[in-house]
Amino acid sequence: MWQRCNTVSNLFRTRLAKEFDDRTARFHTSVVEDLRMFNEDVDGTMAHDIMLHEQGIMDAETLKKILGALQEIKEEWKNGELEIGAEYEDIHPFIEARVIEKIGLEAGGAMHTGRSRNDQVMVDMKMVTKKEMLAIAENVLNLVKTMCELADKHTETAMVYYTHGQPAMIGTFGHYLLAYVDQYMRDYQRIKQCYDRVNYNPLGATAIGGTNFRISRLRTSELLGFDYIQENSVDAVSSRDWAMEITSVLSILMANMSRMAADFVMWSGAEFQYITVADEYSSSSSIMPQKVNPSTLELIRGKSAEVFGTLQEIMTMVKGLPTGYYQDLQQTKIALWRAFDTTRTSVEVLNGAISTLTVNEDKMMAQVKGSFIFAVQLAETLAEDEALTFREAYKITAEVVKKLVSEDRTLEDLTAEEVQKVAKDLFGKDIKVSSSIAEKVSNPKKALNNLRSPGSPHPAEIGMAVENRLELRERYWKELDFLKIKLVIAADNLKNAIAKYTA
Ligand code: ARG
């Protein structure tokens, strides 16, 4: 893959007597991971040089030649005509060398005035990062929509809620889904807030301490779609807190998805059969012909580990690194790109798996029926209806449950007399229990409709919550649109400026 180019590969090893040998060159170069920001690098240079001209630092003729050469290079890249070998430390000298090859050192040599690779690589990375964050945010909102639509169909689908892996309380599948909708909404918010903090332009910091040239950092911000400048030049080239923040935010998103995936993997198993993952998201076995594995969802779990790893990688890279640029920081890109790719595809695939899964309501109901999850309902009903404290009602219920379990019966065939007898035995109290107590506490529909606390699985409340979340999602979608439009406007500004100076 790596071969010597005809272009001037050696722009700035002037101080050094010898070249890297091939192995060291391959070890040292970042060209492979840099390819992802090829277009951003060219755009960054164009914006920078236009600004140099407007500030009186570069003459019109030179700018015109540089912009022309850069446009050609972009075209060559698009057509797959460029071969970029490890003799280039990174993409930046490759492009500079290619410009010089096209228009000579006289004009091309002005291209890198008043900047350094240190601020250049940061602005490139941030441009790629902003696009990636918008794409992931959009995917998250798509997932939210899918989940809301599914939740809306299951506002009354009763299911067992578990704590400690044991049947705990009655819930609904719709309410369960909304629990994750709310988590994904917060994931969206975190991405958006993080985007706002990434949106600071580092270009113009140069290597670490600025430049004698009277550059305009606001102008390059405008042409490249940044809302602010990252003012302090040391901060601009040295800090990677933004990369740690993104990988944190993406790790949290992955953790949330992973946990939901874990439920679905379990619930698709033969012992539950609550859901069936669609064939197009399942795999089979090379030996066991009967197998239908929810492996896509297992991979959501597995890949979350990969994203957590990128956070660890960047944190470890930065910790103990003295202030300023060190080559260590070159590795940031690899971790970031991996975090973006893995997270983006995970959200997409999860969305696909959710939108195609089958919900087996009867299997959910089969677990609800005859389970003791209604014990809470009984205790609360007793505590409400009678002159009992909650703890007394709890103890009565516990005795009742013990008795039913030992007699291999369920709450459904509980009688009022039995409850009254336990109350008398335990506390010497005469209580009056309704003859319809069994039906009252263990009918799933009634139990759900009796829930009164805000945020409970009460079906009417879930219906309203779905509407509310969809509205909020709509607002977030518009917010994203606005951010995207701002980037389009910036790209337009750059295009117009290029047209003006190449005319
Ligand atoms: N390839 C480098 C990176 O990705 C670009 C900056 C190099 N700067 C330097 N002073 N060697 O970080």
pLDDT in tens, 158-207: 999 999 999 999 999 999 999 999 999 999 999 999 999 999 999 999 99
Closest ligand 1 atom to residue 30 Cα is: 1
What sections of 154-199 are H helices per DSSP? 173-198
In angstroms, the CA 352 to CA 357 distance is: 9
Last residue of one domain, picked from the residues 113, 129, 162: 113
CA of 121 from ligand 1 middle (Å) equals 7
Q: What rounded mean pLDDT belongs to the chain?
A: 95
Please check whether residues 292 and 145 belong to one and the same domain: yes
284: amino acid identity, one letter: S
Please check whether residues 122 and 106 belong to one and the same domain: no
Closest ligand 1 atom to residue 90 Cα is: 1
Within-domain flag for 9: no
Which residue has the CA at smallest separation from atom 12 of ligand 1? 330
Within-domain flag for 98: yes
Using one digit for the tens of pLDDT, what is the confidence trace for 56-94? 999 999 999 999 999 999 999 999 999 999 999 999 999
CA of 118 from ligand 1 middle (Å) equals 6
CATH no. for residue 91?
1.10.275.10
Please check whether residues 108 and 37 belong to one and the same domain: yes
Which segments within 202-315 are labelled E, that is strand? 228-229, 275-276
Active site residues: 164, 285
Please check whether residues 288 and 396 belong to one and the same domain: no
Reported pTM: 0.95
Contact of 157 with 364, CB cutoff 8 Å = yes
Closest ligand 1 atom to residue 330 Cα is: 12
CA of 288 from ligand 1 middle (Å) equals 51
Contacts 24+ apart (CB under 8 A), 66-72: 66/99, 66/103, 66/107, 66/108, 66/110, 66/111, 67/498, 67/501, 67/502, 68/103, 68/502, 69/98, 69/99, 69/102, 69/103, 69/108, 70/42, 70/45, 70/46, 70/95, 70/99, 71/498, 71/502, 72/102
Which segments within 182-307 are labelled E, that is strand? 200-201, 228-229, 275-276
pLDDT tier, 5 (very low <50, low <70, confident <90, very high otherwise)? very low
Distance from chain centroid for Cα 182:
14
CATH no. for residue 384?
1.10.40.30
Which residue has the CA at smallest separation from atom 10 of ligand 1? 118
Nearest residue to 325 via CA among 20, 27, 125, 121: 121
| 256-274 per-residue burial string, b: 16 or more CB within 10 A, e: under 16 | bbbebbebbbbbbeeebeb
Within-domain flag for 105: yes
Last residue of one domain, picked from the residues 113, 143, 162: 113
In angstroms, the CA 108 to CA 103 distance is: 6
pLDDT tier, 12 (very low <50, low <70, confident <90, very high otherwise)? confident
Ligand 1 neighbours by CB, cut-off 6 Å: 30, 90, 117-118, 121, 325, 327, 329-330, 333
pLDDT over 90 at 384, yes or no: no
Please check whether residues 126 and 239 belong to one and the same domain: yes
Six token digits for residue 290: 């009967």
Please check whether residues 395 and 435 belong to one and the same domain: yes
Within-domain flag for 14: no
Contact of 336 with 243, CB cutoff 8 Å = yes
Number of domains the chain is built from: 3
Please check whether residues 324 and 181 belong to one and the same domain: yes
Nearest residue to 346 via CA among 187, 193, 172, 123: 187
Contact of 144 with 181, CB cutoff 8 Å = yes
Using one digit for the tens of pLDDT, what is the confidence trace for 253-270? 999 999 999 999 999 999
| Domain, as residue range, for 106 | 22-113
Please check whether residues 135 and 155 belong to one and the same domain: yes
Please check whether residues 274 and 193 belong to one and the same domain: yes
Last residue of one domain, picked from the residues 113, 130, 160: 113
Contacts 24+ apart (CB under 8 A), 326-332: 327/28, 329/240, 330/30, 330/90, 330/121, 332/125, 332/240, 332/243
Q: What percentage of the chain exceeds 70 in pLDDT?
A: 98
First to last CA, the chain: 38
Closest ligand 1 atom to residue 329 Cα is: 12
CA of 38 from ligand 1 middle (Å) equals 15
Please check whether residues 107 and 143 belong to one and the same domain: no
CATH no. for residue 344?
1.20.200.10
Six token digits for residue 492: 């337009």
